[in-house]
Amino acid sequence: MKPIIAPSVLSADFANLQRDLEMINKSEADWLHVDIMDGVFVPNISFGFLVLEAIKRYCTKPLDVHLMIVNPEKYVQAFRDAGADYITVHIEACSHLHRVVQQIKSTSAKAGVVLNPHTPVSSLEDIIADLDLVVLMSVNPGFGGQKFIENTYAKISKLKEVIYKTGSKALIEVDGGVTGDNAVKLVGLGVDVLVAGNYVFKSDNPIQTIAELKNIKQ
């Protein structure tokens, strides 16, 4: 099995966004990862519905929309309407996580939950059977270009155990600091989806870089 590659548009050139999206369309990328940040849950602000709608007009890949926001339940339908195919919310931001997951599913989007680096995998045991996707943050969320947190490898192994024990069909996604140096190990441990931002968009040949990630085999 080859991994799903989801370049992060946060690292794209926003003065030439259509050009970068057309590059993604031509590449072997499977999804486009879109970070939505509110300046409250994380110390950064990215973009909202209008930009997502513009991305959807030009991008032919499914949009993997990562909500790094407080009260995500207020905006689920709006992000679905703006073009989100996958919607992931942080466990740390949801007082009623099961309700939010079911809300996402009711829009016909795929539902995922994100864990910050300090949040244990065990916190997912009562919800993971309902999930399509689990995202492990391998950096502290909010900014691109951070160094990969090595403890992520151990969390992947624990997450695989929980998925196996519960019979969940959830995919495992790793987000943050993914490069050619750690991608092989990540895929070997069972990661299904690799999010790569700077490593792709700052590459001299992004299409080739995506192809190299895509052709890593478990």
Q: What is the pLDDT along the chain (218 residues), one digit of tens a residue?
A: 899 999 999 999 999 999 999 999 999 999 999 999 999 999 888 889 999 999 999 999 999 999 999 999 999 999 999 999 999 999 999 999 999 999 999 999 999 999 999 999 999 999 999 999 999 999 998 766 678 999 999 999 999 999 999 999 999 999 999 999 999 999 999 999 999 999 999 999 999 999 999 999 87
Q: Which residue has the tokens 């997912």?
A: 124
174, 188 in Cβ contact below 8 A?
no
Q: Tokens representing 97? A: 């996580």
Predicted pLDDT at 147: 86
26, 215 in Cβ contact below 8 A?
no
Predicted pLDDT at 1: 82
CATH superfamily of 4-214: Aldolase class I (3.20.20.70)
Domains of the chain, residue spans: 4-214
Look at residues 114, 176, 119, 181 and name the one whose alpha carbon lies nearest to residue 149: 176
51, 34 in Cβ contact below 8 A?
no
Question: Coil, strand or helix: which one is 48?
Answer: coil
Predicted pLDDT at 145: 66
**Catalytic residue positions?**
35, 175
Distance CA(95)–CA(9), nearest Å, equals 29
pTM of the model: 0.96
Predicted pLDDT at 146: 74
Look at residues 209, 216, 214, 217 and name the one whose alpha carbon lies nearest to residue 11: 209
68, 141 in Cβ contact below 8 A?
yes
